[in-house]
Amino acid sequence: MDTFTLNNGVEMPVLGFGVYQVPPEDTEQVVAKALEAGYRSLDTAAAYQNEDAVGRAVRSSGIPRDQLFITTKLWIQDNGETGAGPAFQNSLQNLGMDYVDLYLIHQPFGDVYGEWRVMEQIYNDGGARAIGVSNFTSDRLLDLIIHNEITPAVNQIETNPFYQRAVENEMMTEHGVRQESWAPFAEGKNNLFSHPTLSAVAEAHGKSIAQVVLRWLIQRGIVVIPKTVNPDRMAANLDSFGFELSPQEMAAIADLDTGKSMFFDHTDPEAVARLSGVKME
């Protein structure tokens, strides 16, 4: 698996496996299939409530821990300096691990500065090999960078052909933050899997539209974590290497950008209120 080098020298696989919306009761089996297919990077979160199932699948796989890259995330209710430390320890306990490879602030709300100070200490103590954020807009990300010692290694944000985040990508590249895509397929919105532009590119390479989208992201230097519970699609997503999109094909896909989220805007007050009100049991 190819890797991107994060701003602290840690190597992160360019393609990982996400478990968002995988039911906790199915997660262990799904992750086991993903590991069997060849994935070595797994993305979970406290809010997904399936960290324990991810951990069980990892232990059952027999794959040495140092050959895996595990990401989890801090949820909003575990807020500030008092909440972040215990929340991280709870995630480690759920995963059954001594450390994670990447620990992210899941949403840009609440006392993220207090949380970041705790996360810097977690990083310095070796609890996480890298720390970063998720869903941070450019202004919030830059403010965090300016006013703290450690620059986030990653910002995991919605990125797909219809919401490409080119301006954000330029800013992150300038400051050494690696962009990571969630919802790379936009959950099929805008008829992504039958879009004529993507279909033409896929046909030219003898690949699927999903493989073309993953290749497009990787060529942009973006880490991607597609989710599927289908073993055949797991294998197909891993087969997104060995071909390259031309500048003309990259430009054609660039023209699909709407500049708008396919899901929700993190600057919308209603979205802020809704997300901030989500509490885990």
For residue 237, being part of any structural domain is answered with: yes
Domain count, the chain: 1
Q: Provide the CATH number for the domain around residue 25.
A: 3.20.20.100
Token pair, residue 231, equals 């073993």
Q: Which domain does 44 fall in, by range?
A: 3-276
pLDDT tens-digit map of 179-222 = 999 999 999 999 999 999 999 999 999 999 999 999 999 999 99
Active site (annotated) includes residue 99: no
Q: Is residue 53 part of a domain?
A: yes
30/214 Cα distance (integer angstroms): 20
Catalytic residue among 39, 48, 103, 163: 48
Task: Decide: 129 and 101 in contact? Cβ < 8 Å.
Answer: yes
What is the structure's pLDDT at 152? 98
Cβ–Cβ < 8 Å for 165, 159: yes
Residue 281 maps to a domain:
no
Stated pTM of the model: 0.96
In a domain, residue 27? The reply is yes
Is 95 inside a domain boundary?
Answer: yes
For residue 274, give Cα distances in angstroms to 10, 84, 137, 215, 265: 35, 21, 17, 33, 11
Give the mean model confidence (pLDDT) for residues 18-26.
94
Residue 265 to residue 270: CA distance in whole angstroms: 9
pLDDT tens digits for 91-112? 999 999 999 999 999 999 999 9
Q: Say what the pLDDT of residue 180 is.
A: 98
Separation CA 77–CA 62 (nearest Å)? 34
* Per-residue confidence band for 281, with pLDDT thresholds at 50, 70 and 90: low
